[in-house]
Each structure stands twice: as C-alpha cells, then as structure tokens.
Structure 1
C-alpha cells in the first residue's frame, strides 16, 4: 500500500514518524518546497497516480492552481482526503464527508498516536485494509511546558510551584500548541536554555493559534491573560512570541485586517518588549547561510508581526534534512543572540530614563539633490517628527540638551554644521571646522572591531572598498578620513544624537559607476565609514 501526502512543512515530521511506526509506504511532499521547486510538481503528481491513497493539507500556495486540475483527473481512480484550515479546500476530497471530518479531528488533535490512528482509519475505511485503531483522542489545547518537567502544567500556579523562579527577570515564551503536541520542540528547548543561561526565568506556554468555538479553543490573547498576568499585573519583563498569528485571532474572522487590535491592546497592558523571532519553515540551514536573506518567510515572519508592533525578527531556526524530511532545527548561536538581545532590552527598561541614550538616523538619498535630500521621507515630514519626538522625550524625563523646538531649527543646525556624510561637495576639512563631527575613530579602534567579523565578510568589504580605514582603491576613499581617523558626523543633544545616514554603497568625490557602486551592485557591502558609524552608535 502506497500513500502520497502533500502537506505543509510543519506536518512532515509527525507524518514521517507515523509512517515509520506503521511501516507504511509514505511518499511525502512539502507544499512549500513544491512552490519553490516547481520542477518537482510532476514528480509529486506521478507519485499520486501510483498511490492507493492521496492525503493532502491544502494551503494558499500558488502551486495549487497548477496541481488541483490534475488532481481532479487522478481523483476519478484514487481516494483523496483533502484537509486545510479553510474548509472550502475540503471539497477536493473524494472520500465521504464523514471520513474527511474524522480525519480532520485526528490531525487537529495531533500527536503521534492520533496521526498513526488517522492513517489506520483511512486504510480501513477507504482501502478495505484490516486494521484496528483508536478514535480521535483530545489533547490539551494550552498549558505551560518546560523540557525538565515530567509533564505539562494546566495552570500558571502549578508551573511556578514546580519551577521556583529566582529574583531575576522573567521572560514569557508563547509558542504553538502544534509543536508541543507533536513533540517537535527543539527550537523552544534551545531558547529556554539560552534564556536561563543568561540569568532569566522563563515561562513557556503553548496555545492553539486561534479561538475556535467549535473546537473549544481559546484565543492566544485569553491564554496570555491567564499565564502572563497576575490579577491584572504583568508577570513578565519581556515576551517572546513565535506564533505568526495575531493574539486575538478568531477562526470565524481569520484574515480580517483589524485582527491585530486585541494584540496591540494586550501588549500595551504588558508594557514590556515583545519579540517575534523567525522560525523558517522553508530553508535548510545551508540554504539560509548561502542566501542573501529570507524568501517565503517574509510574509508570515516579518510583515505580519509588524502589524502588532513586535520587534527583533532574528532567525532562530531553519530546516535540517532528516531522512528526506526537512525538520525545524534551532540555530544555536542565533538563539543565544536573541537571548542576549532580550537581556539588553530588559536592562534598558530598568535603566533610569534620564540616563538613556538615543540616536536618530535621518535618511540620506544618495545622488539626489545632495543636501536637499537629507531627512527625506515619502509624504512624511521626518525632520519635524524628530523634533516633536525629542521634545516629548524631554517631557518624559530624557536628558536632551538644547533640543530643537522645530524641524526648521533642526535641519538648519545640521546644515550649518555640515553634519552630513557627503563626499562630493563638502570637504572633510569644512565638516571638521563647522562642528559637524560627532566622534573620531582611530585605525586601531576600528580594526579591533573589524577583525571580529567573519573572514568572508571582511574579504568582501576589503575587495569593494580597500583595507581599513582609508586605503585608496581605484582612487576611491572607503571612509571619510581626517588626520588618519574615521570621521563620524552628527549633532549631539545631551543623551541624544541626530545623524544623517552614512552612504551605504557610495564613496569618493566623483559620481560614476565606480564610486556609486550600489547603483549597479545592490549586494555591495557597506563602506568602512558606514560600519564605523553604526559601530560607534
């Protein structure tokens, strides 16, 4: 008996384990990988034709437009069970409705036992195979978890009694119930270990992603209220959320643009930093390391979370090929990096407001009206906004001295001092003379930091811009140098500074393809002056 499965990446590991346990011939295809590697679609369709049963969990990938008509032809001879978060997708099934509904219950409850029983049930009902199986077994929808605990906890009180937190900061970790029930918790375990190693207490909580009255599941917002608040008072110093759905998402209103409102209000009540790292479902670790960035993960992992106002989209997991199945695997050093970021944000929140230092970076569009482009923003008065924010900060207790009363005063100060990173029309001597220098960085100071970068990163920068800090390469200076030191420009206002964005891929007094490299090479690394500026900040 052969079964072909077309499902999302996240379902593959649990189905693979079930297939191995049952000794079934299971051909597994990730719908995300088929989307990215369309040449494999024919292979998957051929497998469907040769199978006794086709099992699918349909999503919204574009590849279904190509696959679905061909599957309908195959369906004349093969039983198909098609599930999906949208029940409209179920109509592709050729199995009786009662079978499809029961199959959905098995898969939704989750866990290896339920998935094994799912395929035994389908084999008997659709293929006439002699098989014994258990009915769908409900599993907890929410709870607290810890890798060292003997079981999950159904209340925060029980968890804290077992955990015995110390007086260090406390971080909440909200993750998908799907990974708890299917025992695919490598990423969560690594994050917990990293946070605890950095001296933080952790409250890891799993939850179903959406409120569904038919299933009896609560929204993540309700779960957050029970586990991360104590009689209305936040228990947390920071929250890490790894679920892409909005906190207040409901099944009946999934996809509505106002679904972020509940989450935003809860985050305001928590009043702590909320982090949403990236857990890639599409790339292996090797693919991510070779890539220029994310691809299919951007929508779910970067764009969606921005609607709730969360921060720090640091990738912490990628896929690892295990027996042909791409399983989510932690990237250990990135989990540690996220933990360090969380710890620093907590330290910042505890730092007295009067001691906090803030930098404003103004956009500087290269090769476009030069000084007139400083602070440009489409349909936005960014200069006036910075001035208004600075004055609000003073009222809140920040130590900002001589802050500009208006945007006009701010831009006038920047221009009078020549506090800009301009190579063509403003000599470095003029910037120094007029007070536009925020700081100098010596060759030794810069090289000490530069040498901490990965060798391949250093090589790329030096290939493009010469050796640090000011070696000429094709007569192009890689940094704004004055007496051998890199010049960092800006205006200081006490504990606040306003800087104009250093030129990202441009250097030198000429305006041509060699100088403005970014016009012809979007992958060109930044200049030494660019990196020195951000390192200083």
Structure 2
C-alpha cells in the first residue's frame, strides 16, 4: 500500500513533536507516511511553494495568526480533492478556519454548517460567555455520535478525534494523530492508541514530565522544603511542552531556593486551577506566580468572566509575573528587530495578560531552528530558551521575593523624581501631582510602617534648590552640587560599565566617548543628585541627553530615544543597584525618561537600556490615572507596576473680571428688552463695547452669551493632586455632580432629567443658551439646574437615593418614568462615590513594597470614565481589539461630518484631504473616536463579529452623500506600540477604498493614490513598493522614537524660523506604517500627501487638558499644520473637536486656544489653585506659558492680547508675582524669558512701556534668586 501524503501547516507550534513522532513512526512502521511540514511564515514570505499542498492526501492546518497565508492556502485548496482538517484558530484572528470555509461535498457541507454553528454559539459576541471546555465537550459528543450508522456523524467523529490528538499535544499524541490519519484517510492497517488526555486542570512538572490531578498527590512527591513557593501557570494542551521550556529553565536557576507548583488548564480555567492548587486549607501557599500563558487566564483567546480572575488573584495576593514565551515568533527575528514583538504578540502576550494584573513582560524563550530534518522535509523549529532573559526573570523573581520577606526596617527604597526643565524650576515635575507634599506624606507613611527613614522638617524643593542638588543648575556651581550630593568614582563605574552587554557599551561610547565624560561629573566623579534619609534615597532622574554646561542642549535631547543614556545616567541607576542596593524603586509622578530610553518597542532584550537601567529591582511607578498610554509604555519597557493616582479636584470655570461684568449686562439687557427698549439699546452698546475690550470677537449678543456660557460651564482642575489624598467634601460633591452631567446609555444625565421635569429640552438649552424661556435665558436656567443637581447629589450622598428624590418633589405627570430614571442615575452616582472613597493610593504603594498583588483597572479620564475608580490600581489600556467601539465610531462619524461641514461653510467645497492627529492617549480614553472619524471620512464602517474578527464595510457613495475624503493620519509612537492591530485595520480600510472602481472626483483616496504612484514609481525600487507607498496614509515617528523634536526645539529656543519647525516635523514624521511596512522612511511620499491636505483635525478628549495645557497639542496639531503650510504654501484650516461636553463641539484652533487661556491660564480660580500648591503649582503655570509660545509658533493663532494678559496676570499683579517669587522664583524667571522671546519673535507686539516694566521686574526677580542662592 502506498504511503499516505500528509502536509502539516503550522505557525511553529508542534513542529518538534511532529519531527520526533515521524522519526518513531518510520522506525516502527516503515514508510507508511510521507510528510511535509510547512511553516506559516515561510508561506507568507514565499519561501515555501504553497501550491505543492494540492499533492497531499491530507492537509493538517494549525494557523494561529497569519491571514495572508490563510488566503494563499484557501486559493490553492479551494478546488482540490484532498482532505483538509484544521485545528485552526484562524476564525479568532479575523477569518474562518480554512477547512470550514472550503467548498465540500453535500455531506461535508452539512458537517461544516453544524460545526460552525456550534463554534459561533460557544464563542458568542460576549467574552464572558466563552467556555473552552464546552468546545472540548462538543468533541467528546461528536466522538460518541460517530458510532451511529451515519456518514455525517462518522465524518464529524473522525475530524474531532483528530483535533483531540493535536489539542492534547506532545510527541505521543502527535504520533498517534499521524497514525490515525494514515488509518482513516490512507487505508493503512494500523491501530493507533486513543488520544492521551491529561488531568484537567492539573500539575505538570516540567523537569520530570509527571502530571498530578491533586495538590495532595503533588506535595507527597515534592514536599515544600523551602520557605518560599512559586506558582507557575503553564499553557495546557498542545502548547504544554513549549510553555514548560521556560518553566524548567527557571526551576533550574532557582533550584534549592524555592518550591515550585507548576499548573496548567487546557480549558483556560486558571482561576479554578489556582483555587485548587495554590491554596491549602483555604490559605494561599505561594509567594509569587510566574505566568507562561498567552491571552487571559479565564477563557483563553475569547476571554471569560474577568471578575472571577480578579477575585481569585486578590485572594491569592501575590505578584503575577508575565513570562509568556514567543509562541508565534523566532528568537533570531526578535533579536534583529527594533520592533520586538509582532502586532499579534503584543496583544496576546502582553496586552491581554495586563488586564489580569500580570506585570513585567519578559520573554523567556522562543522558537529556534535546530537543523534540517528529513522526516518533515524542512528545518525543525523548536522552543528554545533565551538565557539572558531567563536570568533577568529569575533575578526579578528573587527581587520580589526578597521584598516580600524582608522586614520593613531593613528595606532600602529609592524614590526617583524628575527634574524637567533640568534646572532649579523643575525639581519633581510631574503631571498634576504636588510631588513635594506627596513625598512628605510618603515618608510619613513609610516611617509609620517601620521603614528606617526621617521625615522632612522643611520643604524638599528648598532643600534641593538651596543646595544645588540638580541636574543643570543655573544659579549655583557644579562644585556646590557635588558637595551636597552622592557621588561615584570612575573606577567603580568602570566595573559596572564593563559588565554591560558589548553592544550597549559600544553605543554609549560611540555617542558619549569614554567614561567619565563631562555630563554631571566633577573631579573624575559622577554626581548622583539626591539625598539619603536612612534607608530611603530621594534622587533626581538624570537629564537624558545633555551637557551640564549647556541646558539648551539638554532640553533638545531630553526625549530623544535614538540617543543612548550617557555615562552619568547609567552611573545613577547602577549606583542604586550596586552600591545603595535598593530593594525597590519608586518613580514618583508622570513621567520620566527611563522607559523611553533606547531599545525595542516591546519585548526588551539584554541590550535594551530600560532593561539595563532597572535591572532586577522591583519597580513601582506612581502615575496619573488619566494617562494610560504612557503608563503602558512604562509597564512594558521598564517593568513598572503602576500605582495610579487621582486627577486633581475639579470645579467649574465660572466668570471673572470683564467676563462677569458682561454676563451681568446681558441679564440686564434681557430684562430691559421687554420693559424698557430704550434702556435695552444703551445696555446693548455697553455689552458690545465691553466684549470688544475683553477681546471677545463675536458681534451678536446671543453669540457673546454662547461664548460666556461655554467658558462658565467648563470644568477645570483645581490645583494639583497630593498622592494618597482624596477630595474634600465640596470637591467630592462637585465631582459626582460633574460625572452625572453626561448620558451613559440607559443612565440619563441628572441635569437632563432635572431640565425635563421643568419642561425644558436639555439639548436645545445646551445649544442655544441665550434663548429666553419665560423670563429667563436658558443659560440662567442651566445655572439653576446645576445648583439643584449639586444639592440633590449632596442629599443622596448623605441620606440616600430615596431622600434625594423625595426632596426633589417630581411633578406627578412625570412621576413614574422620571422616578425610575432618577433612581438609576443617582444609584450610579452613589456607586461612583463608593469607588472614589475606596481609592487607597498610599495603601497600594505600601502593598507593592510588601510584594503584594496590585489590582488592575482601566485608565482614563475619571469624569468621562468613572470606571477607572478606585485609584491606587495598576493601570492598563483599553482592549485594542475593541477599537473603535460602536459608540466611538458613531461619535467619530459625527466629528468627521462636523469638520467637513465647517470647512464647506467656509469654502463652499469639501476638502480634498484632511490631516488627522491620532494619539494612543485619546484612543484609550475615547475607545477610538478619532479612528471612527478617519473611517467615516473615507466612507467605511467596521463590523465586529467578535473581539478578534472586525470586518470593513464600504458605505455606498449614495448613502455617504459626499465624496470619499482622503486622510493623512499622523500617529505618535505610543499609538504605534499599543495599537498595532488598529494600524492594520486603518491600512486595510485605505486599501479597500483605493481599490474601488469609482470616479476620481468621488473617491479622492483613489485619486491621490494614483497621483502619488505616478509621481514616485520611477524613483523607488519596483512597482510593488511604489504601490505600497502610494496606498500608505499612516505616518509617524521612526521606530526608535515616540514623538517629534518640536517640543525640544521650542523649550531650548533652538530654532530660527517657523520653517525650521516645519522641516523638523516632516523629518521626524516621514515614516510609513502599514500592514507590511513598519517605519519605512519616505519623505517624498509624506510631503506628497501633505501637499493635498486642506484641513487638519484633532480631538480634545480629556478634562485634565485643554490644548493650552499639553505641549503635545502644538507638537502634533501645530506641527502638522506648519508642515502642510510649508509644503503646499497654504495654511490649512485647523479644527479642534471637544468631546468632553454634553454636546460635541468643533471649532477653530484659535477658539480652542482662547478657551484654554480664559478658563485656566488667566482665570483667578485656576491661578489660585496652582499657587496654593506652591513650588509644583508654579511649575505648571510656567509650562502653560511655554505652551502658548509653542502654539503661537506652530499655528499663528495666538492673539496679541493673550500675551499682554499673561503679563498682567502674573508679572504686573504684585500679589501673584510675590507668591510666585516666594514659591518658585526660577519658574517666574523662565516665564518672563518666554515673554521676552514671544516679543522678539514677533508673536507679542508689546509696547515699550510693557517691556520696560518686564525688564524692571526681571532684574528684581534675578536679585531675589541670587539672594536665596
């Protein structure tokens, strides 16, 4: 009988078992099987000729992630007569299993339909419903049904039995699978053994390969002889042996130090397995868990109920380290890649485990070629250890275990602050955090917990600035800094430096020359700026890229990821590791530079500087809850466990000065219109005159009132947050009231319900605040409703929902429906309040220092997404598979239409192309509003079948009602790293649209693709590349960068003209990102796309930040606009869409800047809040003034009056100035330098009188600083 021909197509999983199985089969049975193994990646790359699959009798498929390969295989097999069987997860990754999609005989079609129905039923749309064991149950049932006299059930049984062999995995099962296929489909007279099952769940010892079904049996065989025990989570089924490779290596490294309990669950029911094996008599018996899993713990790829996982891990209360191997990747490719992990690996190996609270993603092993094997006709790719990564995992395990067992009095903790700008003004700079007060509270808490430390008697800022403990002090000499700081000799440093990987040493020396260099060195010693308080070290993170003598140079290179850390940067962290011997590092505040140092995007190697700098020390990072994007980078690149903190308390902006006077006049005008028309005319003239004096551009009373209403109701932060504190009583009520302003699905806005009870259309009230209803304007009624809402919230918080509703006295005609809606809304408000009260930031930090589990939670704007509460959690990002959410797409579509209509109203035509800024920060917060906006511009809608399966549906032009508008997408590096799947989704959408047979006038994507192709086809290497480049629409920084150099140029004043800024933006953002190209440099393509842009757009999505509060707005929106203007010669329309309010509002960048200035920078309420927070509050004011300069330079939309008002508010107002002089005179001095620069560059046309006053005060402040120094 001739041998059966079997083709095995795999992502690498099981290849080694196939080779070993074939070797045994040939030895025992001879040539009964001819087998050829194909790797998916080789098919994708064209290394393997996929057409040869047609010659096989049976094709066995295990394809986990490669859609292009799936399509190739389907094309080849669609008309063949061979048997195609798949243990394929292709359906999870966006395409149905190959063998289910193929046209078969009528009987097979019935089989296909039955199986597909069952699988889809089990997967469902809701992750919580998925249960892997049900799928295994289906296989069992199919096996029994196969005994019935029916060809239909017989075939079902054969296929499911084959799948069982592969699912259980290992050499024996693989061997018997191949024999089974030979018997069933090749007619061979062979009797294979049935599938060998493992206990479910069970314990598997990687070194001895023994399995145990109970903890009791395991502990009889392996007693707990050591003090500490480590639990291990291995992947059950076909990946068990692969996941055991890393586990066995860890066990060898820590043999004799700890006990191990390695468990698995084939059904991905790890919460149940943990309860069975990591608890004894109801008490945890493990001190740490190391997970070798991919996906989430409960439910695997489709996910299960996350609450069960979190409840289990909270009960266990130990750190869970993520040591997921590269189940889909090769070690060599990873080593050579700047990217590190592939997009699918980022999701499966990093993102999804983070949702369960797993920390420190370090790769223990991956696939590696071990030579050609004739039994499979190709190279064997087997799971192999990565020794240096395993050393790092083992070292960090020891670090966490040491932290858990050590007495607090013996623990050494390094607390790292940021010094940006790296001068006297920037000690402890952090986003919305009063670090000086936070340090005081932290030291007090540590002392109370028994740590060996002293509390500070005075202010930390004064201690550091007066003694010159800085990175680049301006007012004190380096000698003073050296005298008052810790220092390290060059000889000691050389010992540490020589121990670094060779490539890392070469990079440092290549950029910074031989040590010690001249960055913060003194007399051949490295200065380590910081102080020791017993066992606590408080230090300033080194400036990332500059010479001590040149602060401008330091600022320019501060965030430059292409530059390796200098010697003093390395010396700082090596001193903490080797000499201070810290048991833990706390980085305090958002954010520093360690996590942005040179290295891979994800999946660090030993040559990546974040890995080198953090070493084996447990890393806790205090971070803003509203910034999950950059927190995610810290988690993945510097192994940080995030302890998130609240945003500052919020209040409404209110009105002040002339703005308050204008509002009073408008109220008088409205009253006079009906009572005294002559008086009304006089008041109207007064309003217009006052509005002109207040630089309000609107010329109609209603428009002026709209502007005032918008300012007055704006929510603004009130100062800074102190770590470990919560809101005071009034702020607490304000916060819940603000939360209840918004509709949230079935939960109606409290304000809407109150308006409805008065017979008022809430949406109309928001859109037309000047409209008169009865004897009052909508704006006045909105103010009254706001006060009633606060009162109701206060009553509900103190007395409950019933008391609040009783107090409200809802009119009878509204009673039934309104009462139910009010109950839902107020109950939701109380739930939010309860979560807010449960915030325990300091407690979580102390738990982290004791080696405990930090509960994970999503990050985001707490007003917009109160599910981020309580704080003190380990922040994770929104699940990238769900971007855009249905709601985000709908809102994004509206934003797209609003921006286009704004443009059309101005120009009477639609724009040809739009430039859109797409941030990870915004995407995580809105769940993809900008993504929805982009898709709507080009007329595409996403259709999500399940989290892994998102299809793109083209909206017909007739339904769209306008042309498909082209889009140039500008992403930041964080979006690139955290949403690689969305990059592909958007790229697929652009390719779909450009391939449509539609007129060039109606499909501008297609038109521009053809134009760019014709422009570049003769200048690039081949037609295929030209096609890819002309289809590309997503541009961003190079793979080694996260942003542009614009901020550094502005901060360091290292630019001569606006053309310099435009050229810098183009140079930094000319890298293409598509499904196939990752950071491909193509300035010509980028400029070609920019030349067609007529409108730029960005979303403002976070209550913490107006466009004036964050330098990234001028960096990206401003930089994009300036680049377009530079290339095309025409300034594009610039729109900002604010989605933080009840009504989404699109407006020009000039209006957005004015609102930010009026509600915050010039607002006495905001100023007072910042000044109350002293030194750090002054830093925040300084930053905003510098941002205004950045906006002026990149948008040319900062009005002259703004600069004059800044001078009036902060420099000429003696009370404010004296306060600034008292708390942070260096920040005040920097603000004045910014004003001088604005004047010199022509953005502020200051009078000579204004400049003279500024000069006088500047001299006074400098004298004040010198006296303090």
Find the counterpart in structure 2 of residue 204 from structure 1.
262
Aligned position for 2:310 = 264
Asked whether 1:244 is paired with 2:294, we answer: yes
Distance 1:298 1:404 in 2: 47
Moved more, 374-383 or 20-29: 374-383
What secondary structure sits across from 1:305 in the alignment? helix
Task: Give the SS at the match of 2:8.
Answer: strand
Match for residue 340 of structure 1?
395
What residue is the counterpart of 2:211 in the other structure?
A: 152
Which whole-Å deviations, capped at 9, do the CAs of 1:136-193 have from their partners, x for residues lacking one? 4433233333356584222222222222332432222221223686587433222212
How many Å separate the matches in 1 of 2:22 and 2:426? 61
* Correspondences of 1:485-504 after superposition (within 5 Å): 485-504=525-544
The answer to whether 1:307 aligns with 2:359 is: no
Q: Supply the distance in 2 between the matched residues of 1:55 and 1:404 (Cα, whole angstroms).
A: 72
8 Å contact kept, 1:83–1:100: no
Separation of aligned partners in 1, 2:423 and 2:35: 62
Residues 365 and 384 in structure 2, CA contact (< 8 A), matched pair in contact too: yes
Structure 1 counterpart of 2:13, from 4, 10, 27: 10
Report the CA distance shift for 1:318/1:363 in structure 2 as closer, same or farther (over 3 A). farther
Structure 1 equivalent of residue 613 of structure 2: none
Other-structure match for 1:235: 285
Cα separation, partners in 2 of 1:8 and 1:425, compared to 1, 3 Å:
farther
For the residues of structure 2 that align with 1:392 and 1:65, how far apart are their CA atoms?
56
Counterparts in 2 of 1:160 and 1:278: CA distance versus 1, 3 Å: same
Q: Structure 2: state its 5+ residue gaps.
A: 27-32, 112-155, 373-378, 577-1269
User: Where does residue 57 of structure 1 map in the other structure?
Assistant: 62
| Equivalent residue number for residue 295 of structure 1 | 341
Contact 1:360-1:499 within 8 A present in 2 as well: yes
Listed one character per residue, the Cα deviations across residues 359-401 of structure 1 (whole Å, up to 9, x for unaligned) are 2223455xx6866665555666666655554444344333442
Larger radius of gyration: 2
* 8 Å contact kept, 1:424–1:509: no
CA positional deviation for 1:450: 1.8
Give CA-to-partner distance per residue, 1:224-251, whole Å, 9 cap, x none: 112111112121222222112333x136
Contact 2:243-2:325 within 8 A present in 1 as well: no
Does the aligned pair in 1 maintain the 2:25–2:175 contact within 8 Å? yes
SS of the aligned residue for 1:393 comes to helix
In 2: Cα distance, 1:18 partner to 1:176 partner: 21
Compared with structure 1, are the counterparts of its residues 339 and 398 closer, same or farther at alpha carbon in structure 2 (3 Å cutoff)? same
Mapped pair 1:326 → 2:384: no
What residue is the counterpart of 1:84 in the other structure? 88
- Displacement of 1:286 after TM fit? 4.2
Between the aligned partners of 1:84 and 1:142, the Cα distance in structure 2 is: 23
The whole-number CA distance in structure 2 between the counterparts of 1:277 and 1:150 is 20
State yes or no: 1:102 paired with 2:161: yes
In the TM superposition, residue 104 of structure 1 has moved relative to its aligned partner by 2.1
Distance 1:418 1:38, change over 3 A: farther
Q: Secondary structure at the match of 2:286?
A: coil
For the residues of structure 1 that align with 2:475 and 2:5, how far apart are their CA atoms?
72
Task: Identify the range of structure 1 (479-488 vs 144-153) with the bigger mean alpha-carbon deviation.
Answer: 144-153
Whether contact under 8 Å (2:543, 2:554) holds in the other structure is no
Cα offset for 1:275? 2.0
C-alpha contact 1:502 1:533 (8 A) present in aligned 2: yes
Report matched runs for 1:412-423 at 5 Å: 413-422=463-472
Counterpart among 166, 174, 186 of residue 115 in structure 1:
174
Deviation at 1:481, TM superposition (A): 1.3
- Counterpart CA distance in 2 for 1:68 and 1:334 is 35
CA distance in 2, matches of 1:404, 1:287: 54
State the alpha-carbon separation in 2 of the partners of residues 5 and 162 from structure 1: 38
- Alpha carbons of 1:262 and 1:191: their partners in 2 closer, same or farther (altered >3 Å)? same
Taking the aligned partners of 2:501 and 2:393, their CA distance within structure 1 comes to 19
Give how far 1:420 is off.
Answer: 2.9
Unaligned runs of 5+ in 1: 211-218, 471-476
Partner of residue 443, structure 1: 490
Asked if residue 139 in structure 1 is aligned to residue 198 in structure 2, the reply is yes
Once the two structures are superposed, residues 419-443 of structure 1 have per-residue CA deviations (whole angstroms, 9 ceiling, x without a partner) of 332377874235347x4x2x11112
C-alpha distance in 2 between matches for 1:108 and 1:284: 22
Partner Cα distance (2:324, 2:553) in 1: 36
SS at match of 1:310: coil
Instruction: Rate the CA distance shift 1:383–1:48 in 2: closer, same or farther, 3 A.
Output: farther
Residue 179 of structure 1 contacts residue 185 of structure 1 at CA under 8 Å; is this kept in 2? no
User: Does 2:323 correspond to 1:277?
Assistant: yes
User: What is the number of equivalent residue pairs in this alignment?
Assistant: 502
SS at match of 1:326: strand
Give how far 1:465 is off: 0.8
- Residue 533 of structure 1: CA displacement? 0.4
How far 1:344 sits from its partner (Å)?
3.1
Q: 1:169 to 1:293 in 2, by over 3 A?
A: farther
2:53–2:76: 8 Å Cα contact kept in structure 1? Answer: no
Is the Cα contact below 8 Å between 2:322 and 2:359 reproduced in 1?
yes
Query: Residue 189 of structure 1 corresponds to which residue in structure 2?
Result: 248
* CA pair 380-51 structure 1, distance change in 2 beyond 3 A: farther
Q: Distance in 1 between matches of 2:554 and 2:444?
A: 42
Kept in 1, the 8 Å contact 2:235–2:265? The answer is yes
Q: Displacement, 1:105?
A: 2.2
CA distance in 1, matches of 2:476, 2:61: 63
In the alignment, the residues of structure 2 paired with residue 381 and residue 55 of structure 1 have an alpha-carbon distance, to the nearest angstrom, of 60
How far 1:488 sits from its partner (Å)? Answer: 0.5
Q: Is the partner of 1:165 in helix, strand or coil?
A: coil
User: Residue 511 of structure 1: CA displacement?
Assistant: 6.6
Q: How far apart, in 2, do the equivalents of 1:317 and 1:374 lie?
A: 41
Change (3 A) 1:384 1:119: farther
**Whole-Å Cα distance in 2 between the matches of residues 461 and 352 of structure 1?**
38
Structure 2 CA distance for partners of 1:507 and 1:47, relative to 1, 3 Å: farther
CA–CA separation in structure 1 for the residues paired with 2:512 and 2:87: 54
* SS at structure 2 position matched to 1:419: coil
Task: Give the match's secondary structure for 1:81.
Answer: strand
Q: Calculate the aligned-residue CA RMSD, in Å.
A: 3.6
Q: Is the 8 A contact 1:3 1:27 kept in 2?
A: yes
The answer to whether the 8 Å contact 1:45/1:71 transfers is no
Please name the residue that 2:567 is paired with: 528
User: What's the offset of the Cα at 1:446?
Assistant: 1.3
Match of 2:50, SS? helix
SS of 1:359's equivalent? strand
Secondary structure of the 1:196 match is coil
Normalized per residue, the structure richer in helix is: 2
Q: Deviations over 1:94-134 (max 9, x none)?
A: 56331433332222233333323333333454455555434
Q: 1:161 to 1:121 in 2, by over 3 A?
A: closer
**In structure 1, distance between residues paired with 2:243 and 2:310:** 29
Shift of 1:16: 3.0
SS in 2 for 1:9: coil
Give the match for residue 402 of structure 1: 455
Measured against aligned partners, the alpha-carbon deviations of 1:53-105 in whole angstroms (never above 9, x if no partner) come to 3221233x3x4156326614522214322333458535235563314333322
CA distance in 1, matches of 2:159, 2:476: 71
Paired residue secondary structure (1:497) = strand
Is residue 4–residue 53 contact of structure 1 (8 Å, CA) maintained in 2? Answer: yes
Contact 1:171 1:202 in 2 (8 A): yes
Contact 1:72 1:92 in 2 (8 A): no
Compared with structure 1, are the counterparts of its residues 357 and 185 closer, same or farther at alpha carbon in structure 2 (3 Å cutoff)?
closer
